Amino acid sequence: MPAKAKEFAAESALPASGDAPGVAVSIRGLRHSYGDLPTIQRLNLDVPAHGVLGLVGPSGCGKSTLLELIAGLQEPTAGEVALGEGLDPAARLARCAFMPQHDLLLPWLSAIDNAALALRNRGVRRGAARREAGQLFERFGLAGFERSSPAELSGGMRQRVAFLRTLVAGKPVLALDEPFASLDAITRAEMQQWLAAALDADPRTVVLVTHDVEEALYLCDRVAVLSARPARIVEEMSAPAPRSVDRDEAVTDPGFVAVRERALHTLREGTK
Amino acid sequence: MRRWVLPALLIAGLIGVWQLAASTGAIAEVLNLDPILIPSPAEIATALWDNRALVAENAWVTMKEILFGFLIGLALGLGLGFLLRPFEALRLTVYPLIVASQAIPIIVFAPILVVWFGYGIGPKLAVVALVCFFPIAVATADGLRAVDLQAVKMMRTLDASRRQLLWRLEMPTALPFTFSGAKIGVTFAPIAAVFGEWVGSDSGLGHLILQDNAQLNTARVFAAALVLSAIAIGLYGLVALAERRIVTWR
């Protein structure tokens, strides 16, 4: 499987992102405001290549803005955001795929055509694009649903297709904005485990925004707890254990529970 | 199937009551009119059958006016809707003008169109297009503005060019809106065509209705109106069918 993953990444990585196999994210002295309203306050962050960083913080603290800054969808007011060698927004856009909060699958396209959107945008013919995305459908438990319309899929499956769409873009950095927020608790737990497996098979540099401390600590190598707006980092913590594929075992471990409680405490203190 | 039964019964009942009231002279008596002016459904059907060649010939003229006028209106409405989308300043500038074009009663405008385009099909097409383009343009412009901003961001990180954004995201988003506008437009089109004929023409159902009305040939007026309704319903059905075929995700 990992061999296949590498082959896939090599096939579809953008030529522009020359710094493969992995791209690090580096944020220096970042400030951002909407008009007079400061959203992010002097922020420094580093994510090593293939690292997974979690961002947790209270609602409206500027997590999503931070993610859009990383993805090149917004410009900092001051400071810099670099993805590998890429500093300007276009270079960041070329290196980062963004998965929005809601799956936003286009209802007029089948599941496979949704997943293949980035390839189609890059000028790959429909047949070839479907074949390439189709390989991932099999690997990630979606075989047989290629031609289904998004409305026919369950919430978890829609989210998987949305994640595949992000993967197929072949970008070294993934910006995930609360990808599982709209799912029920059971499906969310399944999807967290699924994502852990997907990232093992096809490693990328990931910045994951979530309001779920447990999700962040389970999926990420490091977690940054943000304050209420304007966002600054209250504490950065390492994951209690390396990402394992057995979620239930991981999150019930006493060490994990202790770190989770500490993170929750920090979050509460930071939002006061 | 079931949902057709009740409306069909209602229509049959109404026709029956009309037949009875007209053939006994009850309506004429109430309205204090000569019974010859109140045709019964049977008389209308007879008039339609006896004059089928004449009615068909004029219906064909009117149908062409409606169809081509609608198509011109559709093209204009789509073009304007898309043109207004990316340029906010243009939209704000042109929008009042488009609304004003609808505020001027077509009654005022149509005679001028005849002066400009003559007695042929020209002014009818202009009137029909003028009536049709408005709901289509407004609906399309609104539809394009209904695009989800998050989806735009997502498409941008998936390397979509401006044109791909338009074709893969904005157009499909706007399409159901455009169809709603087209359904409104196509409903008004027959009225517009008849009006265009009333201002000046030598054929068409509107022309026929005007002539027969002057000659008190009320049965044939109703017969022509019936055919006009059938054309309107048929065209609406065509647009609705196209919508069902194309907008499959709704």
Domain ranges (residues) in chain A: 2-271
Whether A101 has its CB under 8 Å from any CB of chain B: the answer is yes
pLDDT at B75: 95
CA angle, residues A167, A168, A172, in degrees to nearest 5: 55
pLDDT at B176: 95
pLDDT at A107: 94
pLDDT band of residue A19 (cuts 50, 70, 90) is very low
pLDDT at B101: 77
Å between B183 CA and nearest CA of chain A: 21
Domains, in order of start, for chain B: 41-246 (1.10.3720.10)
pLDDT at A181: 83
From B192, B175, B170, select the one nearest B72 (Cα to Cα): B192
- How many beta carbons lie within 10 A of that of residue A86, not counting itself? 24
Burial A37-49 (b: 16+ CB within 10 A, else e): eebbbebebebeb
Whether B165 has its CB under 8 Å from any CB of chain A: the answer is no
Mean pLDDT, residues A232-241: 83
Closest-CA residue in chain A for B175? A108
Whether B176 has its CB under 8 Å from any CB of chain A: the answer is no
Per the listing, tokens 């005007």 go with B210
Kindly determine whether residue A120 and residue B151, on different chains, have CB atoms separated by under 8 Å.
no
Kindly determine whether residue A121 and residue B169, on different chains, have CB atoms separated by under 8 Å.
no
Give A126's contacts in chain B (Cβ within 8 Å).
none
pLDDT single digits (tens) A110-162: 999 999 999 999 999 999 999 999 988 887 788 899 999 999 998 888 988 99
Residue A84 pLDDT exceeds 80: yes
Residue A206 pLDDT exceeds 90: yes
Residue A14 pLDDT exceeds 90: no
CB B193 within 8 A of CB B206: yes
Give B150's contacts in chain A (Cβ within 8 Å).
100-102, 104
For A212, counting Cβ atoms within 10 Å of its Cβ (0-12 exposed, 13-18 middle, 19+ buried), the class is middle
Nearest to A97 among B158, B248, B249 (CB): B158
**Two structure tokens written together for B240:** 């609705």
Give B164's contacts in chain A (Cβ within 8 Å).
120-121
CB A51 within 8 A of CB A222: yes
Closest-CA residue in chain B for A119? B158
Nearest to B153 among A100, A165, A169 (CB): A100
pLDDT at A271: 64
Whether B153 has its CB under 8 Å from any CB of chain A: the answer is yes
User: What distance in Å separates the CA atoms of residue B18 and residue A71, rounded to the nearest whole number?
Assistant: 70
Partner residues linked to A53 by β-bridges: A207, A222
**Two structure tokens written together for A156:** 């978890």
Whether A260 has its CB under 8 Å from any CB of chain B: the answer is no
CA angle, residues B41, B43, B47, in degrees to nearest 5: 115
Kindly determine whether residue B159 and residue A122, on different chains, have CB atoms separated by under 8 Å.
yes
pLDDT at A208: 94
User: What distance in Å separates the CA atoms of residue B202 and residue A172, rounded to the nearest whole number?
Assistant: 71
For A235, counting Cβ atoms within 10 Å of its Cβ (0-12 exposed, 13-18 middle, 19+ buried), the class is middle
From A181, A210, A211, A177, select the one nearest A100 (Cα to Cα): A177
Residue A73 pLDDT exceeds 50: yes
Per the listing, tokens 């065209």 go with B235
Q: How far is CA A17 from CA A8, A10, B32, B133, B180, in A?
A: 15, 11, 88, 47, 45
Q: Across all residues in chain A, what is the average pLDDT?
A: 84
For B8, counting Cβ atoms within 10 Å of its Cβ (0-12 exposed, 13-18 middle, 19+ buried), the class is exposed
Query: Which value, to the nearest 10 degrees, does the dihedral of the CA atoms of residues B215, B219, B224, B225 take?
Result: 110
User: What distance in Å separates the CA atoms of residue A129 and residue A3, rounded to the nearest whole number?
Assistant: 21
Helices B2-23, B41-50: axis angle to 10 degrees equals 100
Residue B241, φ and ψ in degrees, nearest 5: -65, -45
pLDDT band of residue A233 (cuts 50, 70, 90) is confident
The CATH homologous superfamily of the domain defined by A2-271: P-loop containing nucleotide triphosphate hydrolases (3.40.50.300)
Residue A1 pLDDT exceeds 60: no
Mean pLDDT, residues A232-245: 81
pLDDT at A264: 87
Whether A69 has its CB under 8 Å from any CB of chain B: the answer is no
**Two structure tokens written together for B176:** 């159901």
Q: How far is CA A181 from CA A100, A165, B66, B154, B221, in A?
A: 11, 18, 51, 17, 64
Give A99's contacts in chain B (Cβ within 8 Å).
154
Q: What is the pLDDT along chain B (250 residues), one digit of tens a residue?
A: 678 898 899 999 999 998 888 888 888 888 888 877 888 888 899 988 998 999 899 999 999 999 999 999 999 999 988 887 767 778 788 888 888 877 777 777 788 888 888 888 888 999 999 889 999 998 998 898 889 988 999 999 999 998 999 999 999 999 999 999 999 999 999 999 998 898 888 889 999 999 988 888 888 999 999 999 999 999 999 999 999 999 988 7
pLDDT at B61: 93
pLDDT band of residue A229 (cuts 50, 70, 90) is confident
Nearest to B150 among A93, A100, A118 (CB): A100
SS3 track for chain A: CHHHHHHHHHHHCCHHHCCCCCCCEEEEEEEEEECCEEEEEEEEEEECCCCEEEEECCCCCCHHHHHHHHHCCCCCCEEEEEECCECCHHHHHHHEEEECCCCCCCCCCCHHHHHCHHHHHCCCCHHHHHHHHHHHHHHCCCCCCCCCCHHHCCHHHHHHHHHHHHHHCCCCEEEEECCCCCCCHHHHHHHHHHHHHHHHHCCCEEEEEECCHHHHHHHCCEEEEECCCCECEEEEEECCCCCCCCHHHHHHCHHHHHHHHHHHHHHHHHHC
